[in-house]
Amino acid sequence: MSGRQGGRPTLEQVAARAGVGRGTVSRVINGSPRVSEQARRAVARAVAELGYVPNQAARALAGSRTDAIALVIPEAEARLFAEPYFLDLIRGVSAELADADRQLLLTLVRSEQERQRFEQYLAAQRVDGVLLASVHGDDPLPDRIRELGIPVVMNGRRSEAEPVPYVDTDNIGAGRAAVAHLVARGRDRIATVTGPLDMYVARARLGGYMAGLAEAGRIPDNSLVSAGDFTEEGGRRAMRGLLDRRPDLDAVFVASDVMAAGARGVLREAGRRVPHDVALVGVDDSPVARLMDPPLTSVRQPIEEMGRTMARMLLREIAGTPEEPRRRVLPTELVVRDSCRAVSGS
Amino acid sequence: MSGRQGGRPTLEQVAARAGVGRGTVSRVINGSPRVSEQARRAVARAVAELGYVPNQAARALAGSRTDAIALVIPEAEARLFAEPYFLDLIRGVSAELADADRQLLLTLVRSEQERQRFEQYLAAQRVDGVLLASVHGDDPLPDRIRELGIPVVMNGRRSEAEPVPYVDTDNIGAGRAAVAHLVARGRDRIATVTGPLDMYVARARLGGYMAGLAEAGRIPDNSLVSAGDFTEEGGRRAMRGLLDRRPDLDAVFVASDVMAAGARGVLREAGRRVPHDVALVGVDDSPVARLMDPPLTSVRQPIEEMGRTMARMLLREIAGTPEEPRRRVLPTELVVRDSCRAVSGS
DNA sequence: CAACGACGTGGGAGCGCTCCCATCAGGGGG
DNA sequence: CCCCCTGATGGGAGCGCTCCCACGTCGTTG
């Protein structure tokens, strides 16, 4: 469609064609208001005719901004949450960035060594900001990045009092809702399988479980709590422990759908019917939940929305107009399925 | 650890500190052999002391390469293959790129409009090459990108005679293996639920099914073939159609695990036992397969390996030393589970 | 012993932008 | 009627690299 004669056209060429100066073209491209309507039109026309597209590298060099942001995901977690968690997150982030005409640099970090290398990237000024997923309790990276003066927003937090801006879901609310639901269905001895307790998300869900029991006037009992690790096998192990200690349990709040799948298998092997003998509630509302037999009641998190929110917050941070509050907690929602029908005959 | 006094150090500063010229530092940084050992050491020291990291934008501008590659995934597909397909692919690509010190730019394309915008990115010279996932039969994008002179490698192909370099799995082999297995288990009336037939991958799997039957001396029968669309609901529909037409079927090769999950539900509702009455084989070996009841026999594809191979090929294309052959077909593997035990009593 | 490569090396000339300053027209107020 | 302010404009000066050419400085060859 256009005159491509030895490489792509430059600003200068557009300027020449439009009969204006380089500065004016730049102003038009960047939407500055201090340009006459006439000049604007002439430039727009030249741009179209030449098929001009600004060279990103030159822009970045001259303007010291890259229009790219990095999303950092620890590879180990990506494997763990095999469920579409990260894909949903990426989808949200990507959508928001696309709308803002920003690029998404995805960084799967496999090892501590690679994380070091990541700091090099930052130093190389490849990105304007960083989105950090799945941070563990004692992770120093968020602070390090901030020290470098680079805007960061995290997915989840490391502790209750997180200094770095973040977007999290209401994990406490998730636990409470699950327990409240089980209580309402007449369950008496409600156990829980937690995530790894070095992660805040796991502690928060456990906290919600406790709070839920308290609200129902029940006294929490340690023998009804068993720690998993967010894997299916971890779910199996925890469930076996629970069954050994408390064969009388009649409901379990499992802190992830994947663990719930493991727990469900153990229950089946132990001859317990779900939901007849034992009711089950998971967290994530992942495809697994729908496919389980019976389908699993689960607490849904707005993952894609988290991604969008994170990206939006980060863009504001980069723009220098941070959005308050810088800590967001999005609501969760209980999706009721067949895994916790009311106690029969009661 | 280092003297950060107003911005990051530049090449020039490193040169000054090392007592050499700018050119020499550049040579050391880029691993040119034409540098004396002495100079090399002096530079290395200065780099370490100053904490120097080359500015990526400047490099890109001067050298006209970005060290970044784009991975383009149609958003619609990402939703479809909810299964960890893309995450696995990304993982493979990411690993290979990290080893080569390249950046991964992830582009989720939501609409035709965004695809246009993607061509702008390319024109802006943001990336050195492009990885294209999930291309449909008549997609012009791969050719367009090549016309722009940008190296491309695709995941899958658009047709048997694909001109653009690609990495695919042996979908025909997948179908054949599945059918052979069902035949070996004594199944007689083997049906298939296909993917959308405008995608080569779906046609190839169907072709494999046909070939498998032929090899077993069976005559394919159209009433045993039903088209799905890779969704669970599509699987349900196709299965219902099959059951209507051929209530006597005793096995189904379903072209994806997700559709198999749908089909399994329909079979249950119809009172057919799996594998007793009807044996089932899926494709993907996704978590769903393991979690199904009974666990689903499925054809595994080396997805992560595909990602790695694609990235490796692309890097070679970019380097100007293309790896032959430029079309790769990776083998698949049948993972046997309980969904197709041998016919009872035979 | 002169001439000539090979090797290291320094630094100029861009790469294509953005930033900003100087300039030029106008238009309104003193 | 002149001055000053505003708004629009052109273009110089970099941004921090890579590329490449020209320049020593040796060791080697005829």
Taking an 8 Å cut-off on Cβ atoms, the answer to whether B108 and A91 are in contact is yes
Please tell me the pTM assigned to this model.
0.92
Cβ of residue A23 lies below 7 Å from strand D: yes
Which of B280, B244, B285, B284 has its CA nearest to residue B262? B280
According to CATH, the topology of domain A11-61 is 434 Repressor (Amino-terminal Domain) (1.10.260)
Of A55, A60, A94, the CB nearest to B106: A94
| Residues in a beta bridge with B132 | B72, B154
Here the contacts of A4-10 (C-beta below 8 Å, separation 24 or greater) are A4/A51, A8/A51, A8/A52, A8/A53, A8/A55, A8/B123, A8/B125, A9/A50, A9/A51, A9/A52, A10/A52, A10/A55
| pLDDT band per the 50, 70, 90 thresholds, residue A227 | very high
User: pLDDT tens-digit profile of A286-343?
Assistant: 888 888 888 999 999 999 999 999 999 999 999 999 988 999 999 999 999 999 877 6
Rounded distance in angstroms from the CA atom of residue A128 to the C1' atom of nucleotide C21: 28
Q: Given this chain, do its domains A68-168+303-330 and A171-301+334-345 carry the same CATH topology?
A: yes
B2 has a pLDDT exceeding 50: no
CA–chain centroid gap for B105, Å, is 15
Q: How far apart are CA A284 and CA A84, in angstroms?
A: 10
Q: How far is A215 from chain B (nearest CA, A)?
A: 35
pLDDT at A297: 97
B3 has a pLDDT exceeding 70: no
Between CA A74 and CA A84, with CA A80 as vertex, the angle to 5 degrees is: 90
Q: How far is B161 from chain A (nearest CA, A)?
A: 28
Find the nucleotide nearest A55 (Cα to C1′). Answer: C16
Which of A155, A145, A178 has its CA nearest to residue A305? A155
User: pLDDT tens-digit profile of B257-303?
Assistant: 999 999 999 999 999 999 999 999 999 998 888 888 889 999 999 99
* Exposure on the CB side of residue B198, measured as CA atoms within 13 A: 7
User: pLDDT tens-digit profile of A23-75?
Assistant: 999 999 999 988 999 999 999 999 999 999 999 999 999 999 999 999 999 87
Backbone angles phi, psi at B197, to 5 degrees: -75, 0
Find the nucleotide nearest B27 (Cα to C1′). Answer: D18
Domain residue spans of chain B: 11-61, 68-168+303-330, 171-301+334-345
Q: How far apart are CA A106 and CA A303, in angstroms?
A: 17
Residues of B in contact with A99 (CB under 8 A): none
User: pLDDT tens-digit profile of B318-335?
Assistant: 999 998 899 999 999 999
| pLDDT band per the 50, 70, 90 thresholds, residue B5 | very low
Query: Which residues are in reach of strand C, CB within 7 A?
Result: A 7-8, 10-12, 22-23, 26, 29-30, 52, 54-55, 58-59, 61-63; B 19-24, 26-27, 33-36, 38-39, 58, 61-62
Which residue in chain B is spatially nearest to A83 when comparing CA positions?
A: B84
* 8 Å CB contact between A124 and A104: no
Of B53, B78, B86, the CB nearest to A124: B53
Q: How far is A288 from chain B (nearest CA, A)?
A: 7
The mean pLDDT of A268-279, rounded to a whole number, is 95
CATH of B171-301+334-345, one of 3.40.50.2300, 2.60.40.10, 3.40.640.10, 3.40.630.30: 3.40.50.2300
Handedness of CA B286, B287, B293, B297 (dihedral sign): positive
According to CATH, the topology of domain B68-168+303-330 is Rossmann fold (3.40.50)
Q: How far apart are CA B265 and CA B245, in angstroms?
A: 18
| pLDDT band per the 50, 70, 90 thresholds, residue A81 | low
B342 has a pLDDT exceeding 70: yes
Top residue of A53, A55, A56, A72 to mutate, by most chain B CBs within 10 Å, is: A56
Which residue in chain A is spatially nearest to B54 when comparing CA positions?
A: A124
Rounded distance in angstroms from the CA atom of residue A33 to the C1' atom of nucleotide D3: 28
Pairwise pLDDT comparison (A323 vs A76), residue with the higher score: A323
Taking an 8 Å cut-off on Cβ atoms, the answer to whether A94 and B108 are in contact is yes
Q: How far apart are CA A275 and CA A263, in angstroms?
A: 13
DSSP B59-80: HHHHHS--SEEEEEEEHHHHHH
Q: How far is B222 from chain A (nearest CA, A)?
A: 30
Residues of B in contact with A261 (CB under 8 A): 291
Pairwise pLDDT comparison (B116 vs B164), residue with the higher score: B164
User: pLDDT tens-digit profile of A114-160?
Assistant: 888 888 889 888 999 999 998 888 888 999 999 889 999 999 999 99
